[in-house]
A and B are shown apart, each in its own frame.
Chain A
Amino acid sequence: MTVMEQRGAYRPSPPPAWQPRTDPTPLLPDAAPYRVLGTEAAAKADPELLRRLYAQLVRGRRYNAQATALTKQGRLAVYPSSTGQEACEVAAALALADRDWLFPSYRDTLAAVVRGVDPVEALTLLRGDWHTGYDPYAHRVAPLCTPLATQLPHAVGLAHAARLKGDDVVALAIVGDGGTSEGDFHEALNFAAVWQAPVVFLVQNNGFAISVPLAKQTAAPSLAHKAVGYGMPGRLVDGNDAAAVHEVLTDAVQHARVGGGPTLVEAVTYRVEAHTNADDDKRYRADSEVDAWRDHDPIALMERELTERGWLDEAGVRAAREDAEALAADLRARLNQDPELDPMDLFAHVYAQPMPQLREQRAQLRAELEAGQEGEPR
């Protein structure tokens, strides 16, 4: 049986009969976000996994802080921080196997870094360079995607192609709450469900699309409920609880891998920093709102759990912090070096074979450079 034949066959019923195609009940998300930390479920968690998550959270927080600092020093053109959302970033990367694919948005360089992408390469675009830095095939991380939700159909297509080839590869795509309003979000979920593609959609509901709060974005009961309309399960999870996000995503990845089809996961989190360093969040939210989320910080939640259970000692905390500092120092050192840019590269990869007019334009730019004009072009 081919991949396409495995889909549920739909034929119109003869009049006047009508039957729902699927029972929506099992697709519905829980009433409240699923949590592990601070609940009974934590007792059954794997301490080694929680320690690993913790170390990555600490590292991720330091990465965010360092990247933001580098924007102030002019070393990054812009940085959309994932501070406060590290649980989603870390769990998404760790829920995948090596052969799987991650489809990040522009706020998800941390997930790429956790997956093994060199942080300097992950930040190439945000540095202001013309290309996406890392080789997407090296760690199976799709190029950073800026147009909202447009990476979701790519994830569906890749997962579908893998299935057609008989590979048990899963694609996980990350999108924000604002992105769920885009048409590509809808089309991607619909295609994924119709094709039963092995995809996991992770919505990081951080409360804001730049300045616009979720209430102006959707009237859905939750973003996870949107899954039901496509015929896939929706899961609601506490996005600051790394253990919970990891568990839910791991389940969804496994479900997809064995042919169960796609899952939509809404992780409820909060964007602690402004949209980017170029944004002024004082114009649209109160400090008290931000402060309220600090008690529910992903690192604090994890540290509390690990410490209370005696699963983390001083040495563990110190090791995590040292590792994070090493990452930051390396990032500082390498991003403080001026990048080597060759304007000729702008023509190198537009087409497989250079177009005649691009050859002409390349020659023009080379002549301008060779004319030895000092400084910047006028």
Chain B
Amino acid sequence: MTTVAVKPATMAQALTRALRDAMAADPSVHVMGEDVGTLGGVFRVTDGLAKEFGEDRCTDTPLAEAGILGTAVGMAMYGLRPVVEMQFDAFAYPSFEQLISHVARMRNRTRGKMPLPITIRVPYGGGIGGVEHHSDSSEAYYMATPGLHVVTPATVPDAYGLLRAAIASDDPVVFLEPKRLYWSKDAWNPDDPQTVEPIGRAVVRRSGRSATLITYGPSVPVCLEAAEAARAEGWDLEVVDLRSLVPFDDETVCASVRRTGRAVVVHESGGFGGPGGEIAARVTERCFHHLEAPVLRVAGFDIPYPPPMLERHHLPGVDRILDAVARLQWEAES
């Protein structure tokens, strides 16, 4: 058995590697979007792809998101496998008609004759000091649209594995990339990338017995930090990283909640009409008799995403998570 040197790599590097490997493995994979070619994307995720595979495979498009996704639909109709980059979460909104009326339902309305294997990469979430329209958490819109997969990695290996799976999927996948984790590092060997992760499986990032933090994407590291801090309070928190919002892994989530009896859902997206409401309902419907307390949510406030100078008050942080944990009716146990 040989030992491979495992060096730290960033999530952005893992994403680049996933795109590159997918393009090398399958000539039908085409990357397209604003600034993805010569520049390599504003986050440099497509760095080097145009040089290596040519402009036909990694294309700078005109600046028009509906056109980008709409032409990707036509390319997929002709047998290509487009990987579309939306430059920022809020800039994806012009493409919603194409997404909702065509991408999400073409397989269904053609009875499986015309699947659209399109991956839509969307940098999302806050915490990077972005000005207005650069920090939205738009996942609830995508989750509410039947026909889409919605996936978001929280670790460097998952970024690689899930993006490969998304591109390989015969269904459209909205691949949400947590902006503030682009430069996060994990031990990951790019010369020996992890196997492709199946879409739809959550993972327990930290085992614990007291309560379950159910979270995803940019909030995973925050929850892990909160779990460490909670030890001082005597709580042993479990952290479940959903990785995939659609399909939703009820099995892993509910197994955890049944073990711990308490749950808090944590995300940056607003609470009202946000993913946490659906998750809390699913957990309650399935685990009611195992619950010692109502499922709580720690979410962004129901306000337009605040300016960078104030965003720290908006984003769920360790203290807010611990406050929620404290409200899980522990007195019932004593």
Report the separation of the CA atoms of residues A356 and B253 in the bound assembly, to the nearest whole angstrom.
Answer: 14
Q: Which chain B residues border A351 with CB–CB below 8 Å? A: 107, 147, 149, 171
User: For the complex, would chain A's binding face be called helix, strand, loop or mixed by DSSP majority?
Assistant: helix
The reply on B71 being an interface residue by CB < 8 A is: yes
Q: Which chain A residues border B80 with CB–CB below 8 Å? A: 161, 164
B70 touches A153 (CB 8 A): yes
B78 touches A162 (CB 8 A): yes
Q: Which of B56, B70, B75, B170 contacts A3 (CB 8 A)?
A: B56
Report the separation of the CA atoms of residues A165 and B56 in the bound assembly, to the nearest whole angstrom.
Answer: 10
**Please, which residue of chain A has its CB at the minimum distance from the CB of B246?**
A355
A147 touches B101 (CB 8 A): yes
Q: Which chain B residues border A104 with CB–CB below 8 Å? A: none
The reply on B334 being an interface residue by CB < 8 A is: no
Q: Which chain B residues border A194 with CB–CB below 8 Å? A: 62
B71 touches A349 (CB 8 A): no
The reply on B195 being an interface residue by CB < 8 A is: no
Report the separation of the CA atoms of residues A135 and B112 in the bound assembly, to the nearest whole angstrom.
Answer: 10
B78 touches A352 (CB 8 A): no
Contact with B along A162-176 (1 / 0, CB 8 A): 101100000100000
For the complex, count residues of B whose C-beta is within 8 A of A: 47
The reply on B61 being an interface residue by CB < 8 A is: yes
Q: Which chain A residues border B73 with CB–CB below 8 Å? A: 153-154, 157
Q: Which chain B residues border A349 with CB–CB below 8 Å? A: 107-108, 110-112
Known contacts A4-B59, A157-B77; A131/B70 CB under 8 A:
no
Q: Which of A130, A136, A187, A350 contacts B113 (CB 8 A)?
A: A136
B66 touches A184 (CB 8 A): yes
CB of A134, distance to nearest CB on chain B (Å): 9
Contact with A along B110-148 (1 / 0, CB 8 A): 111111000000000000000000000000000000110
A356 touches B171 (CB 8 A): no
Q: Size range of the interface on A?
A: 35 or more
A184 touches B110 (CB 8 A): no
The reply on A224 being an interface residue by CB < 8 A is: no
CB of A224, distance to nearest CB on chain B (Å): 21
B64 touches A190 (CB 8 A): yes
Report the separation of the CA atoms of residues A190 and B74 in the bound assembly, to the nearest whole angstrom.
Answer: 15
Contact with B along A127-169 (1 / 0, CB 8 A): 0001110011100001100110010111111111110110000
A143 touches B107 (CB 8 A): no
Known contacts A150-B98, A161-B78; A188/B70 CB under 8 A:
yes
The reply on A344 being an interface residue by CB < 8 A is: no
CB of B280, distance to nearest CB on chain A (Å): 16
Which one of A160, A191, A350, A351 has the highest number of Cβ atoms from chain B below 10 Å of its Cβ? A351
CB of A99, distance to nearest CB on chain B (Å): 12
7 A-B residue pairings within 8 Å (CB atoms) = A4-B54, A5-B55, A131-B109, A137-B113, A147-B101, A187-B67, A190-B64
List the interface of chain B (C-beta within 8 A of A).
Answer: 30, 54-56, 59, 61-62, 64, 66-67, 69-80, 94, 97-98, 101-102, 106-115, 146-147, 149, 169-171, 246-248, 250
- Known A-B contacts: A157-B73, A157-B76, A184-B66. Give 10 more (CB < 8 A): A5-B55, A150-B98, A150-B101, A153-B67, A153-B71, A154-B74, A156-B67, A164-B80, A191-B62, A357-B247
